[in-house]
Amino acid sequence: MSDALTPTPDNKFAFGLWTIGHPGRDPFGDSTRPPVSTADFLRGLADIGAWGVSFHDDDLMTFGAPESQRRAELDAFKKSLDETGIVCSMATTNLFWHPLFKDGAFTSNDRNVRRYAIAKTIRNIDVAAELGAPTYVFWGGREGVESAASKEPRDALDRYAEALNFFCGYVKDKGYNLRFAIEPKPNEPRADTFLPTIGHAMAFIQTLEYPEMVGLNPEVAHETMAGLSFYQGVAQALWQDKLFHIDLNDQKIGRFDQDLRFGSEGIKDDFMLVRLLEQSGYSGPKHFDARPYRNEWGDGIWDFARGCMRTYLALAQKAREFDQDPRVKEAMEIASVFELAESSVGPYSTETVQRLLDESFDPDALAARTYGNEALDQLVIDRILGI
Ligand code: GCO
Ligand code: MN
Ligand code: MN
């Protein structure tokens, strides 16, 4: 049965190969369920109405295996994509699992580790291009420190920028249709990560050789771990045309990275986020980087995946209802929400400054006005609760 809460490929929902099939291993315990084969994973995605899949090089092709085996694994994946109609929507490099990356990848103090990391990435950029993935993500899991004395952070940022500039050069040289997206995270697995938040990453991008080729892949859990508003971060990324991709999941504030089902925790934040994405015309993948509860088993892992998409669609519907509600429009008028879209003084000129200075303001009247934010916010809550 198809209804507004049943996903279709048009919704552009995507999942990473490492997500739904995650076997439940954590730092304190081993796997709690068998892994899902790539072929079953893609079939499962097609069955639940998902559209895209993303991968790390090592999810797809066995690390260190002979080239012939890696080729066969890649070809099998391509065949499954063809059979299921699932699109390869994003690719990334695993630069965190192997012990060689324990001091970092692009920012390791060891030059050979850095060169190896760049070569590993170049090889997988070729795979991404072959699969037609339009976005290549950089999550710097190991790019950071425990001991601040162990790295000169300005050198580390130079090396990070050098690597990204190199990849931009490579993609331009090859003529690939590929953009890069940095995924900030404040900590975990390192104590402090370079480019810890959306803001740090956006400022860094402006220093690169081809800033237009590099944007962001922000993640709900990562800004929330840092106690920041993901909604505000995404809004600024959109404002700066830097939202190239998005990792949706959920997270309790102040915890380890939980990777919870989208919409399972911060329902009000998620409502505002979905409203923002839907209104902004963001047309990239809605990519879930989350995993089923560790005690889930069998079809339960697909309940998790269906839940991520269902909640997104439900919140999108709630957001439309919210914006069509005349009481909301009225409350927004009281709060002067629409007035914020009007310019304040216009461009600077001697005339505009004079006009401004000649104007008389009544500070007491300005202080005495009301904004009605309690009533407006209650309408948000009422809409979410469906009352
Ligand atoms: C994490 C990250 C990763 C990345 C992935 C793709 O906290 O572990 O979110 O899951 O998103 O490596 O770059
Ligand atoms: Mn994460
Ligand atoms: Mn992520």
Token pair 């979905």: residue:
274
Q: Are residues 228 and 332 in the same domain?
A: no
Residue 253 belongs to domain with CATH number: 3.20.20.150
Tell me how many degrees the CA angle 121-16-215 measures, rounded to the nearest 5.
Answer: 55
Is residue 258 over pLDDT 50?
yes
Q: What are 188-198's pLDDT values in tens digits? A: 999 999 999 99
Q: For residue 299, give the amino acid letter.
A: D
| Contact criterion met (CB below 8 Å) for 193 and 187 | yes
Query: CA 146, CA 150: separation in Å to the nearest integer?
Result: 8
Alpha helices in the chain (DSSP H): 38-47, 57-60, 67-84, 111-131, 153-174, 198-205, 220-225, 230-239, 267-280, 300-324, 326-334, 350-358, 363-368, 373-385
Choosing from 57, 58, 59, 103, which is the catalytic residue?
59
Find out whether the beta carbon of 296 lies less than 6 Å from any atom of ligand 1: no
Is residue 34 over pLDDT 90?
yes
Catalytic-residue membership of 200: no
Counted domains in the chain: 2
Q: Are residues 105 and 184 in the same domain?
A: yes
Q: Are residues 320 and 374 in the same domain?
A: no
Ligand approaching nearest to the C-alpha of 54: 1
Q: How far apart are the CA of 137 and the centre of ligand 3, in A?
A: 9
Boundary residue ending a domain (324, 351, 369): 324
Atom of ligand 1 nearest to the CA of 54: 6
Q: How far apart are the CA of 245 and the centre of ligand 1, in A?
A: 13
307 confidence band (pLDDT: 50, 70, 90): very high
Q: Are residues 304 and 342 in the same domain?
A: no
Contacts of 168 (CB under 8 A, 6+ apart): 180, 208, 209, 210, 213, 214
Boundary residue ending a domain (324, 344, 372): 324
Range of the domain at 368: 326-385
Is residue 157 over pLDDT 90?
yes
325 confidence band (pLDDT: 50, 70, 90): very high
Q: Are residues 142 and 166 in the same domain?
A: yes
What's the whole-number mean pLDDT along residues 285-293? 98
| Structure-token pair, residue 15 | 């999942």
Query: CA 51, CA 48: separation in Å to the nearest integer?
Result: 9
The strand pairing partners of 14, in sequence order, are: 52, 287
Find out whether the beta carbon of 57 lies less than 6 Å from any atom of ligand 1: no
Q: Are residues 112 and 158 in the same domain?
A: yes
Phi, psi dihedral angles at 129 (to 5 degrees): -65, -40
Is residue 1 over pLDDT 50?
no
Q: Are residues 50 and 134 in the same domain?
A: yes
Q: Are residues 362 and 310 in the same domain?
A: no
Atom of ligand 1 nearest to the CA of 257: 7
Would you tell me the crossing angle of helices 38-47 and 67-84 to the nearest 10 degrees?
A: 20
Is residue 315 over pLDDT 50?
yes
Atom of ligand 1 nearest to the CA of 137: 13
Q: What are 187-238's pLDDT values in tens digits? A: 999 999 999 999 999 999 999 999 999 999 999 999 999 999 999 999 999 9
Phi, psi dihedral angles at 182 (to 5 degrees): -85, 135
Task: Give the per-residue pLDDT at 3.
Answer: 84
Ligand approaching nearest to the C-alpha of 248: 3
Q: Are residues 262 and 360 in the same domain?
A: no
Boundary residue ending a domain (324, 341, 359): 324
The strand pairing partners of 192, in sequence order, are: 145
Q: Are residues 172 and 258 in the same domain?
A: yes
pTM above 0.75, yes or no: yes
Q: Are residues 313 and 341 in the same domain?
A: no
Find out whether the beta carbon of 58 lies less than 6 Å from any atom of ligand 1: no
Find out whether the beta carbon of 257 lies less than 6 Å from any atom of ligand 1: yes
2 confidence band (pLDDT: 50, 70, 90): low
86 confidence band (pLDDT: 50, 70, 90): very high
Q: Are residues 357 and 233 in the same domain?
A: no
Q: How far apart are the CA of 319 and the centre of ligand 2, in A?
A: 26
**34: preceding bond cis by omega (within 30 degrees):** no
Catalytic-residue membership of 56: yes
Q: Is 350 exposed, middle or buried (0-12, 13-18, 19+ CB in 10 A)?
A: exposed
